[in-house]
Chain A
Amino acid sequence: MLVIKNLHAAIEGKKILRGISLEVKPGEIHAIMGPNGSGKSTLAAVLAGRDLAEVTEGSVTYFGRNLLEMAPEDRSREGIFLGFQYPIEIPGVSMVNFLKTAVNEHRKYKGLEPLSASDFLRIMREKKELVDIDSKLANRSVNEGFSGGEKKKNEIFQMAMLEPKLAILDETDSGLDIDALRVVANGVNKLKRPDNSAIVITHYQRLLDYIVPDVVHVLYDGRIVKSAGKELALELEEKGYDWIKKEVDNQN
């Protein structure tokens, strides 16, 4: 589904990604862990099409197409979803209007008629229950005045509405208490289908207690320096990142 080959990217001339290769197959969950500043969020941004990061080398194909040539909105319509680490507040734009526009743009892309108001509201109600989001939030402006936990739940709610093939969750667990973490993780698990995939970017292992990955990658200094099964996450939790840093630095 997604093939990343030797990806290099820079922000304002500063090299952040230095040759990432990664393949995600349908149905797989990949966890990407790593210390602060290792390039995790930049990788997510490049995949979603944020133009702050400039790709200098390498390729990304998504279902055989060159992902890097696609506009952000087309990536979304083709099934890529980015759960933001810091969801953006948009005053004056109501959640309902925002989601209706998004869902109908997806439908238009697929050649479907826009949803009727009543169908849309029914689907919204169903998905709201899935992520246990407060009904009142849906009547407010996008993320405006939401607590940290509410913002993250709202990301999962949007994911539920858009039903992506590949979800990229950028530190969805940061700033969440244990209850909110469980709700968010449950939401992700309920949305899991045999053919859709996820890349879960996280700093801590605890999210992976709830969302069980097939592969864990460690990103350090813009490269994937280690890949292994889910037990790697536990090892990192126990020993921290220093031993990996040493390993890598010794090789250089």
Chain B
Amino acid sequence: MAVNSELTELYSGIYTDNIRRIREGSTSFLNAFRDAAFDRFTTLGIPTRKNENYKYTNLDLFFRHNYKTYFIPDESDFVKAEEFRCDITDLDTHGVVLLNGFYPTINGKIRTLPGEILIGSLNEASRRFPDLVERHYGKYAKSNSDGLVHLNTAMASDGVFVHVPQGSHLNKPVQVINLVDSTEDVFNQHRNLIIVDDNADLTIIICDHTLSPQKFLTNAVTEIYVGENARFNIIRVQNEHNNACKVTHTFIHQGRNSYSSSNNLTLHGGLVRNNTYHFLGGEGAESSSFGLYLSDKWQHVDNLVSVEHAFPNCTSNQLFKGVLDEMSTGAFNGRIFVDPKAQGTLAYQKNNNILLTDDAKMYTKPQLEIYADDVKCSHGATVGQLDENALFYLQSRGIDKREAKLLLMLGFAHEVIQNIGVEALRERIDNLVMQRLKGELSRCASCMVKCG
């Protein structure tokens, strides 16, 4: 069995115990999805390692635990959220804070920016803009075979909603700060919906912070629609403590001649699993999927990327790199699917890893399914140590071994970091990565958790 029936029962119980309260806090539109999604969840269940996609990730460690579930936050909870400030001073963004998966109430639940761009709470948007939400919600995630996606649909009731109408663009990125803060161990699920219409342009930064040392489990689903000729970039910065588990499912659905990029930067976290699904749903679409993960102690970081070429002449690129220290482990599963009609496909994939100790482990698996003839496809994976020749080259110029290793690791990581289009953030990440690789704790000044 690829399903952990005991755990599935545990989470089914949470659903049954709380569904009444969840329904009360949500719109009938969101509620309409719940029963079917729950059925699907009970069939698919919480994945075990017998499930090929979770072969290297043991969810038991974090899922087998009695969490308090968090449904309706108090007004007072949001004071803390409102006070939170990102400390990257020259990073100019439209900021949004989510607290334990909920959108704060203080400054109105939906903001309208120039160009009729909407940013706000998904729950509120489903009330005020039902047409928009109904056109996209649930569409891109619904056929997924991961039970956790359906658990989210069954129970999530809020998250971030962004709508960029046709031809609109913002002159600065949207920044979503996910705060997890509680005096009890918490399981939270939120749901984001991002709609970038034809010819529009959006960059969104998602920062994950844990503010208290309790055990946390987050299961988040983000659905993104990118219209014809539109451009979309998503950058995730994950910096959570060792007692936190984060599972993300990101669905990017692209139209004709659109471009999207995703960048998952995992700097810290107990167990992180990112599922990134790119659907190239129109001719000439292009997607890039980047990832960088640094791990130590008992941390585990797993990235699953799936790129589906459904139309001709699309281009995709995957670049994931990791530096694993101590007894940490990692996994990368990169899937490229080329539909029989997707002639003229270009698809590339690269996964490079450096293991700093004999105990660190990395599992990497390319998965190519190609059903068209006119396809250019490449993939490569490496797991190794630092290049001895490069190390000697640096030493022969007077750089001591420790510093030389650091330079090489930074250079290795920079190949991913250089793809961050927001300069202030790129510099900060370079900096955080340097601190992390030096063995210092990499955290933003506003981080209140000191996990050594």
Q: Mark B401-415, 1 if CB is under 8 A from A, else 0.
A: 101100110111111
- Is B392 touching A92 in the complex (CB atoms < 8 A)? no
Q: How far is the CA of A105 from the CA of B414 in the complex (A)?
A: 22
Q: How far is the CA of A142 from the CA of B397 in the complex (A)?
A: 13
For residue A101, which residues in chain B have a CB less than 8 angstroms away from its CB?
A: 399, 403, 407
- Is B415 touching A91 in the complex (CB atoms < 8 A)? yes
Tell which of A71, A84, A106, A109 touches B395, judged by Cβ atoms closer than 8 Å.
Answer: A71
Q: Mark B388-432, 1 if CB is under 8 A from A, else 0.
A: 011011111111110110011011111100100000000000000
Q: Is A141 an interface residue (CB 8 A)?
A: yes
Of the listed residues A48, A75, A81, A91, the one surrounded by the most CB atoms of chain B closer than 10 A to its CB is A91
For residue A82, which residues in chain B have a CB less than 8 angstroms away from its CB?
A: 396
Q: How far is the CA of A82 from the CA of B399 in the complex (A)?
A: 14
Given contacts A50-B392, A88-B390, contact A93 B407 (CB under 8 A): yes
Q: Is A178 an interface residue (CB 8 A)?
A: no
Q: Which of A38-82 contact B (CB under 8 A)?
A: 48-50, 71-73, 75-77, 81-82
Given contacts A88-B389, A92-B411, contact A48 B398 (CB under 8 A): no
Q: Mark A207-242, 1 if CB is under 8 A from B, else 0.
A: 000000000000000000000000000000000000
Number of B interface residues, CB 8 Å? 24
For residue B415, which residues in chain A have a CB less than 8 angstroms away from its CB?
A: 91-92
Tell which of B398, B410, B418 touches A73, judged by Cβ atoms closer than 8 Å.
Answer: B398
Q: How far is the CA of A49 from the CA of B401 in the complex (A)?
A: 13
Q: Is A90 an interface residue (CB 8 A)?
A: yes
- Is B395 touching A49 in the complex (CB atoms < 8 A)? yes
Q: How far is the CA of A75 from the CA of B396 in the complex (A)?
A: 8
- Please give the distance in Å from A202's CB to the nearest CB on chain B: 20
- Is B408 touching A88 in the complex (CB atoms < 8 A)? no
Q: How far is the CA of A142 from the CA of B408 in the complex (A)?
A: 11
Q: Mark A142-168, 1 if CB is under 8 A from B, else 0.
A: 100000000000000010001000000
- Please give the distance in Å from B347's CB to the nearest CB on chain A: 22
Given contacts A91-B411, A92-B415, A93-B410, contact A73 B400 (CB under 8 A): yes
Q: How far is the CA of A216 from the CA of B440 in the complex (A)?
A: 52
Q: How far is the CA of A88 from the CA of B407 in the complex (A)?
A: 14
Given contacts A105-B403, A162-B397, contact A92 B390 (CB under 8 A): no
Tell which of B389, B398, B414 touches A102, judged by Cβ atoms closer than 8 Å.
Answer: B398
Q: How far is the CA of A97 from the CA of B394 in the complex (A)?
A: 12
What residue of chain A has the Cβ atom nearest to residue B416's Cβ?
A92
For residue B392, which residues in chain A have a CB less than 8 angstroms away from its CB?
A: 49-50, 72
Given contacts A84-B393, A88-B390, A98-B394, contact A93 B400 (CB under 8 A): no
- Is A93 touching B403 in the complex (CB atoms < 8 A)? no
- Is B412 touching A92 in the complex (CB atoms < 8 A)? yes
Given contacts A90-B411, A92-B415, A93-B411, contact A76 B397 (CB under 8 A): yes
Q: Mark A13-39, 1 if CB is under 8 A from B, else 0.
A: 000000000000000000000000000
What residue of chain B has the Cβ atom nearest to residue A99's Cβ?
B397
- Is A90 touching B403 in the complex (CB atoms < 8 A)? no
- Is B398 touching A77 in the complex (CB atoms < 8 A)? yes
For residue A84, which residues in chain B have a CB less than 8 angstroms away from its CB?
A: 393, 396
- Please give the distance in Å from A124's CB to the nearest CB on chain B: 14
Q: Mark B335-346, 1 if CB is under 8 A from A, else 0.
A: 000000000000
- Is B395 touching A88 in the complex (CB atoms < 8 A)? no
Tell which of B396, B411, B414 touches A72, judged by Cβ atoms closer than 8 Å.
Answer: B396
- Please give the distance in Å from B319's CB to the nearest CB on chain A: 12
Given contacts A91-B415, A92-B413, contact A76 B408 (CB under 8 A): no
Q: Which of B370-387 contact A (CB under 8 A)?
A: 387
- Is A105 touching B399 in the complex (CB atoms < 8 A)? yes
Given contacts A90-B390, A90-B393, contact A109 B410 (CB under 8 A): no
Known pairs A49-B396, A87-B393, A91-B412. 14 more at Cβ < 8 A?
A: A50-B396, A72-B392, A73-B401, A76-B395, A82-B396, A84-B393, A88-B389, A90-B394, A92-B413, A93-B411, A101-B407, A102-B394, A141-B411, A162-B397
Q: Which 9 A-B pairs have the closest CB atoms?
A: A92-B411, A76-B398, A93-B411, A92-B414, A72-B395, A102-B397, A88-B393, A73-B395, A105-B398
Residues of B within 8 A of A (CB): 387, 389-390, 392-401, 403-404, 407-408, 410-415, 418
A-B contact pairs, 18 of them (CB 8 A): A49-B392, A50-B392, A71-B395, A71-B400, A71-B401, A73-B399, A76-B396, A76-B397, A84-B396, A90-B394, A91-B411, A92-B412, A93-B407, A93-B414, A98-B397, A106-B398, A158-B397, A162-B397
